[in-house]
Amino acid sequence: MRTRGLYPIVDVATLRARGLEIVDFAARVLAAHPGSIQLRAKALGARETLELLRALVPLCRSAGALLFANDRPDLAVLAGADGVHVGQSDLSVSDVRRFAPTLKIGTSTHDERELEASLAERPDYVAFGPVFATSSKTNPEPVVGLDGLARAKEKARSAGVPLVAIGGIDRERAASIARLECIGAVIGALLPPGAELARTTELARDLERALTVSS
């Protein structure tokens, strides 16, 4: 797992609301060669989610990116994905390891208490946020800000676990994430204006550069 750079989240609900095809969008994002990518399909059934994961696996292998499934370690295993991302109300890291010991595991945290508890379980990465205000969640947790992210980074560094900043990250804010040596999870800033899929790779490459090199 890288310690900097872009971590695209392919959010099915957001893409379908804009009339964008899921696998095509993911393929264009993967052309920027991020270290990892996540499929988030909260509203889909197991069968359709599994089909999407299976379609993404060869694309991720070709691009050298790790594929994470949101919430569903069972589907991650069946699809041959690399890992699973779990939230506070999902299976614990230890539960996932008992069920699927080969999967990489990422976790969501929103405050220092959750962060410390997650770091104690030694996941492959911890996501922390929202750093900035975000529109990708209906009821987002309180914003932690850059100061909160900096404190979280010190805790994650001490634990030897990569930290993923999430929430409201765009091209303009990417430099502040790179300076803290965090990975940047992005949803909205990857969406091309006017549903012009041809611009997706350009947006992803720009974000990958901005999140990799601190100014």
Residue 115's nearest CA partner among 146, 144, 140, 84 is 144
Is the Cβ–Cβ distance between 184 and 32 less than 8 Å? no
Q: Can you say whether residue 129 is alpha, beta or left, with left for phi > 0 and alpha for psi between -120 and 50 degrees? A: left
Instruction: Compute the distance between CA of residue 90 and CA of residue 72 in angstroms, rounded to an integer.
Output: 9
pLDDT at 215: 55
> Look-up: residue for tokens 């010991």?
101
Amino acid at 153: K
Among 132-136, 200-204, 211-215, where is mean pLDDT lowest?
Answer: 211-215
The full DSSP string for 151-169 is: HHHHHHHHHT--EEEESS-
Instruction: Tell me the two tokens of residue 144.
Output: 């932690």
Whether residue 6 is predicted with pLDDT greater than 60 in this model: the reply is yes
Catalogue all structural domains in the chain, each as residue range(s) with its CATH number. 5-212 (3.20.20.70)
Q: Give the predicted TM-score (pTM) of the model.
A: 0.96
Give the chain's length: 215
Q: What is the pLDDT of residues 128-186, one digit of tens each?
A: 999 999 877 767 789 999 999 999 999 999 999 999 999 999 999 999 999 999 999 99
Q: What is the pLDDT of residues 60-110, one digit of tens each?
A: 999 999 999 999 999 999 999 999 999 999 999 999 999 999 999 999 999
For residue 35, give the DSSP letter: S
Instruction: Compute the distance between CA of residue 130 and CA of residue 189 in angstroms, rounded to an integer.
Output: 15
